[in-house]
Every structure is written in C-alpha cells, then in structure tokens.
Chains A and B, each alone.
Chain A
Amino acid sequence: MDDTIRRYLVDTLLIEFGDDGSAVSEDANLFESGLIDSFGFVQLVAFLEKTFDIKISDEEVLSDALSSFAKIRSFVEGKVAS
C-alpha cells in the first residue's frame, strides 16, 4: 500500500520524496507547498477510491486527512481496515 500510494504521487503527480534538502518529506503539507493543485487533488481522491475500493466523504475531502503522504497512508490504512 505504501508503495502503491508513493508510486502514484511520484509517477503521476511528480512529487519528489527523499532525504536531501530539495526533496519533499513524508510529512510535508502538499497543498500549502503548492505541490498538488485542485486538479491533482481530484485525481488523487479518484485514484485512492478506485485502487483501494474505499469511499471518501465530502467531510474527509475537506479535512486535513489527505494533506501529506504520511497522512494519506494512515488514512487509507484506517479505511481499508474498517
């Protein structure tokens, strides 16, 4: 799961995660940093729903639950487990 989400963020939304200074950390807020725009967000939500067969509500979309890689991962883990 970690790998599937990471691959999507890297290959489709073109976010570069890593440890060096110029790369993005797993806890970085992807919206505030301008790494995901509204198109990207709509794509991300559709990808997560389809890939993990989950439903993401309007409230969840509006919350901070999907604002960083780390948060996306734990959000999806919680959804899949429930």
Chain B
Amino acid sequence: MSAPAAGEVRLCVRCVLPSTFPGISFDARGLCSLCQDAPPAPEFEKIRGDLRRKLEAVFDANRGKAEYDVIVAFSGGKDSSYTLMALTRTYGLKCLAVTIDNGFIAEQAQKNLRAVTSSLGIDFLLFTPAPVFMHHLYKTSATTPVHTKAALTRASSICNSCINLINNHMVKLALEKSVPIIAGGYIGGQVPKDSVIMVMDLDVQARFRSEAIKRYLKHFGPDAEGYFGIGDTLVARSALRKINIVNPMLAFGVSEERIIEEISELGWRKTADTGSNSTNCLLNDLGIAVHYKQHRYNPYVNEIAEQVRTGLMSREDAIHKVQDIPDFARVERQARAIGLEWGDV
C-alpha cells in the first residue's frame, strides 16, 4: 500500500471521489460536484427499473434474428460472468461468449471461462492476439499519452487500450455474423452514465475509427490496423447498419457480494492473484500502479464512487479498495513481462 497520507487528498463525504480527480469540485458540505447533482441512493432503484424495461425492449426487438441474439464480451471476471448468466437465463437470449486472451488471464479465471460457459450451455470463442503486439501495446500505453483525459477517468491507459481492442473485435464479429447486439459487463463508472443502451451507427463510428487508427498506427505500429480497424469490405458486406451496444450491469444494480454468490453456482471461483479491483486480469494492478504514478488517483475510483453513490457499496469498503494502490514490487513481474521499466513511466 502506498496510498496518500490522510489530509493530503480530500475525499467526497458521500462517494469517496478524491480532490485529485479531474474536473471535480467540492461544496461547503464536502460533497463532490457529481454527488451534488445525484439523487439519494434509494432513488437509483427506480432509475434502474426504467433502464431494465428499455433493455427488455431492445432484447425483444432483436431476439431470433440471427445465429446469435447477442455477442457478450466475456472476460471471465465477475461482472461479465453475471451479465452472461442474466442474458442467458433471465432474458432467454442466445449468447455467444467471446474472450480475448491478452496473455494475462489468471489461471483461476481461465477455469472460470470454461466453467461459466459450460454451466450455461453456451458457445464460447477465444481469440488470442499475438503476444508481441500486446506487450508493445501495453508498454506504449504506459509510457505515452494515447487516450483522452475523459477516458482515463474511467480506466487506466493500459486497460483503455485493451478495452478498445476488445470492443473492436466484438464489432467485427457482430458484422460477420450479423448479430444485432453486443453486451459488455461494464458497471457504473467504467463507462459513461448513459451507456446502458447505445445505438452504434457504423458511419459515425467509421469517422472516429479513422482518426483513432491514425494515432494507433503512430503509437502501436502497422499491426494496429488489424486490431483496431474494421475494414470497409466487412462493413459493406454486412447487413447491419447499426449495432446495439448494451451494458446491462448499469441497469441490474447488484452488489459485488450478490454477484459472486450467484455466479458461484456456475462454478465460478474468485482469483487470488489479481488485486482488489480485478477478478480476471494479472495486468490490472500494473495498470493501476502506472495510472497512480502519472495521475495521483486510482483509475477505479470513478467506478467505486459510482457504486457508493448508487447504493451498491458501503463507503467503508470503497475507501479500502481505493487506497489499495499496488507498489512497484507487487507489479514488477508484469512490468518485466511487457518490457517496461518503472523509470519510463
């Protein structure tokens, strides 16, 4: 633990966002600007109920149209496992679980991938990008400003690069198989507030992608085109013009304890080696350590604060999680694996 000394950084009295968090200000009561505008925690259940009805409408409108109803970006972590379970069992959707093996999936998490998908009786696809590219991607993400400041308030630079690669892969698969919905296991604070349902217009996306690709090619080299591009022929060939991107966890509103309790029934077990903010990825703590060194706040704090604000986590648990910043000794092995020196960060 190398958390800041008390008094050095001010925390919101309701949600734990720190004074080091970008764009934040505090009122006289000690409430952060996000909490000042937020309804009391119990009211979020009504908001989530409305969102669940909207989600159901999207599911109803798209069920049975293709080989699969939905592609689920499945990390094997607790949230995407729960998402997969709910979409399959509660909503009766035909899911294709897709995992990107970034080379850092914990051993227990690899077992969880198999356990969850086989318990649910669903198809499971594993894609392993070349490690040489992934290591370069991670190292560059740790040492170069690649993402927008806003994106960095939701996840570390290393995580953002990985998430973008994963999302792009899911879009490609959806186009290939004409699957109208892609679901992520993101929870509040990991994605913008309004992203329970986002209709992705492929033409709008093409514009952002071409800007992003230019930067990715510069930072990550020529192979970035394959991992972050989609290809005009694939878009032209596909019957889809729009894809529904959904993040059902934002509407479900379940606590971490209940998630783990429910997915345990599928044979899911907690990892022991992925730090306090991940249940699948061995690289996560390195992402946190790098982010903290560069920005002086835990990249998970937005997510954790949102859980507290919406009544899904106690403030006490949140403070404990937020202050668990891995020191370099704890992430040295991972840093070495991607060729990263602490001095380069």
Contact = CB atoms under 8 A, between A and B. Distances in A.
A72 interface: no
A52 interface: no
B23 A62 contact: no
Nearest to B198: A42
Secondary structure of the A contact surface, majority rule: helix
A46 interface: yes
A2 B148 CA distance: 23
A8 B215 CA distance: 25
Contact of A32 (B194, B195, B209, B211): B211
Interface in B147-178: 147-151, 153
Interface stretch (B70-78, B99-107, B200-208): B200-208
A14 B205 contact: no
A15 B23 CA distance: 10
A40 B195 CA distance: 11
Contacts, number: 61
Interface in A8-52: 10-15, 31-32, 34-43, 46
Contacts of A53: none
A36 B149 CA distance: 9
A50 B17 CA distance: 26
A58 B23 CA distance: 30
A61 interface: yes
B148 A36 contact: yes
A42 B215 CA distance: 20
A40 B193 CA distance: 11
B208 A31 contact: yes
Interface in B127-154: 147-151, 153
A35 B148 contact: yes
Interface residues of B, number: 24
B215 A12 contact: no
B303 to A, nearest CB: 15
A48 to B, nearest CB: 13
A31 B207 contact: yes
A41 B237 CA distance: 26
B208 A14 contact: no
A43 to B, nearest CB: 5
Nearest to A40: B150
Interface of A: 10-15, 31-32, 34-43, 46, 58, 61-62
9 contacts: A14-B22, A14-B148, A14-B150, A31-B208, A32-B211, A35-B148, A37-B147, A37-B208, A62-B207
Interface of B: 22-23, 33, 147-151, 153, 191-192, 194-195, 198, 201, 203-205, 207-209, 211-212, 215
Given A14-B23, A34-B211, A39-B192, 18 more contacts: A10-B23, A12-B23, A13-B148, A13-B150, A14-B22, A14-B148, A32-B211, A34-B215, A37-B148, A37-B212, A38-B204, A39-B191, A41-B208, A46-B194, A58-B204, A61-B201, A62-B203, A62-B204
